[in-house]
Structure 1
């Protein structure tokens, strides 16, 4: 079992809290870098949320369907 599988298992049922934590961590990274890497941080946040099961975008909408 991979580390990501273990994390997903622990967070099952707590996706909203995990999403909030990802947002706070990204905001902290933006603050520390004075927004220099904001685009990369946002991309990382979105990808991590997808991995953890919270597929909503930054504006709260679901991502487009995969082709």
Structure 2
């Protein structure tokens, strides 16, 4: 499958082990995980810097420092 045909995802979670698991899951399902953030502020900054290529899906942890998932959404 061509990478342009893959669903693009960004992910925010303060638990680094979840980043590893999300990358493995995305790869096994042929999804394009383009960015993992440690908190909501990091993710928002990334999205502003890359607003010309916004992802199709954002997965957010509800309990994170700085900005939680609800505040980020």
* Larger RCO of the pair (alpha carbons < 8 Å, separation 6+): 2
Larger Rg: 1
Q: Which has the higher strand share?
A: 2
Structure with greater proportional helix content = 1
Q: TM-score, normalised by structure 1?
A: 0.31
Relative to the length of structure 2, the TM-score reads: 0.29
